[in-house]
Structure 1
């Protein structure tokens, strides 16, 4: 019997982190007795007087939002990181260690409209979001005590989002977090070994095989990574080897906005629901070093598995051993790729 990637259990390697995932494609043939129904679509107003992110409303901390017309950013009223943390540490031998961490946390409202999400926004409006990401990455990264700026979005109650108003967050801190540290190391090792960008070579190989490509335009590719953990996980990767969001040309910024809109439309169309996910940008740290190895990319980690209400859980073996998935990266890419490009709400009479 010959080994078949689409039939037999196997482990896949993640070259960005050095980690592995167990893939069990044969389990897709087992009977399913879980939920499959669609969730009821929530109808939200354009402006919610009780929303602390809507224009003109008061936030929990007492500050009043301006009557903003496009994007709006403010320092998080309940930030996980703070600037005024005294320097200090605790060390009790090699086993008990702690060190103070300084940082700045911000909230970015994508739109003044309470009822919109990225797939329903105009490309020109998403460009304004990208421009604000650029501004905040540059300004926060220029602080002498800020060495990494993490831009991300949690969408949907399923991902712990406490407010449905379209928004994301930025956590900027003095230490580079572990996930970017791993990606930095493996990209650096690859550059030293081959003299080329890891993700540039990876994109070229994926474009040749085409099996895991979901979307493509002149400047960006969206694909399901060969090593994807979540059922419909994707990455947006720049075709050009650039380290961070500040290096975009005007054309790349427009193409990136188009890609964000197109991908999130596909997600919503998959189960005809406002698709939940955690997503974030990985780019070079801001500690003043060059980071020739870094290649800009945007991760999307959505939890939904079989319907608008059934999600994948990380339990049992996955918490104690390796992550595991049943649906292969190739089959999830095919499903996303074949979905309509028009948002399901716009296509209904």
Structure 2
């Protein structure tokens, strides 16, 4: 892998990740851009202890542009984009409309002990998986998927080392139903100045499990699923994918390495080599989950979120790296909306049993 670091016209960082180590990336960004600014701040909810990011400047971000104006496609004569090169393998750049930014100013505050706040310090990056606008992650070959994994690992290592960063989160939102505003296949990386609420709850659960049993929660979860594989979807030498016993989403799969590591940087070469094939198979199965009544034609693409859970800095030694993949589609033409119970109380009701979901995901194997 070759990594090339350059700058966009407004000073944001752009990184190319290439399989060909001889490639030269010297295309300049010729757009007349003003420097990007961020007014983000984080505010503490005293009732829950959760941090909330306020980023009002994001209201003006790019929203569903036509394909010939996609900002993630390579630049071409008469159409300059966020990627100055005429082609690329994987490209990563600082978001022009970030929720968090290293230069975010400190909020004035009002002095109230109930109004805790701070600068929205962090970094938000866009990860473009391919130059092909019409493709998806599932269309990548294993070598390209491995390159994306290497890019995620690189960004985890670099962003974790930045001052004030507590947690690095790599993820992909796919599909308009999820809320995606750019159709080009891409993901994002957030570097947070706090430990996110979901991760905080997992840290607490892991500590309680350790105190109660003396074991690691995530190792024990994986061992239990592998011992009774009714919810196992697929497995390799180094990874296992399963539907969790208490899945929240209609179709939800967790992919764990067999050896517990804190984050992507801890994976061995053997673990990295096996990941692309298993992950691509999972994504392709998701696109075969739902079929048209009568002719069994897949209703694709399936909207999904793919989320890497990684241990935060200086905390969460008990956490295990794993990937969570889920869709909000519960059946053909119907979505799982987070209505009053889920949104109001964070109490999920699943319309599909985890065992049935796992069976269906095994049925649609390649």
Please report the TM-score for the alignment, with normalisation by the length of structure 2: 0.74
SS of equivalent to 1:199: helix
1:327 is aligned to 352
Q: Secondary structure at the match of 1:111?
A: coil
Aligned to 2:308: 281
Report the CA distance shift for 1:168/1:59 in structure 2 as closer, same or farther (over 3 A). farther
Taking the aligned partners of 2:81 and 2:138, their CA distance within structure 1 comes to 31
The one of 178, 196, 213 aligned to 1:159 = 178
Rounded Cα–Cα distance in structure 2 between residues aligned with 1:318 and 1:139: 35
Structure 1 residues 76 and 212: CA distance shift in structure 2, 3 A: same
For residues 135-187 of structure 1, give each alpha carbon's deviation from its aligned partner in whole angstroms, at most 9, with x where no partner exists. 00111111112111111110000011112211100111211111111112222
Partner Cα distance (2:232, 2:108) in 1: 46
Q: How far 1:94 sits from its partner (Å)?
A: 4.9
Q: Is the 8 A contact 1:146 1:173 kept in 2?
A: yes
User: Distance in 1 between the 2:203 and 2:354 partners?
Assistant: 24
Match in the other structure for 2:162: 143
Answer 1 or 2: higher relative contact order, Cα 8 Å, separation at least 6: 1
2:71–2:82 Cα contact (<8 Å) kept = no
Give the Cα–Cα distance (whole angstroms) in 1 for the partners of residues 342 and 85 of structure 2.
45
Q: How many angstroms apart in 1 are the aligned matches of 2:136 and 2:337?
A: 25
In 1, the alpha carbon distance for the partners of 2:79 and 2:116 equals 35
The CA RMSD over aligned residues, in Å, is: 2.2
Task: State how far apart, in whole Å, the 2-side matches of 1:59 and 1:270 are.
Answer: 41
**Residue pair 1:231, 1:305 contacting (<8 A) in 2 also:** yes
- CA shift, 1:320, in A, is 3.7
1:83 pairs with one of 98, 102, 123 = 102
Unaligned runs of 5+ in 2: 1-66, 291-297
TM-score of the two chains, using structure 1 as the length reference: 0.78
Distance 2:163 2:124 in 1: 16
Secondary structure of 1:154's match? strand
The alpha-carbon deviation at position 98 of structure 1 amounts to 2.8
Who is 1:303 aligned against? 328
State the distance in 2 between where 1:88 and 1:316 align: 33
Match of 2:140 among 114, 121, 129: 121
> Is structure 2 residue 335 aligned with structure 1 residue 316?
no
| Structure-1 residue corresponding to 2:223 | 204
Counterparts of 1:206 and 1:165, CA distance in 2: 35
1:112 equivalent in structure 2: 131
Is the 8 Å Cα contact of residues 126 and 189 (structure 2) preserved in structure 1?
A: yes
Unaligned runs of 5+ in 1: 1-47, 342-349
Partner SS, residue 325 of structure 1 = coil
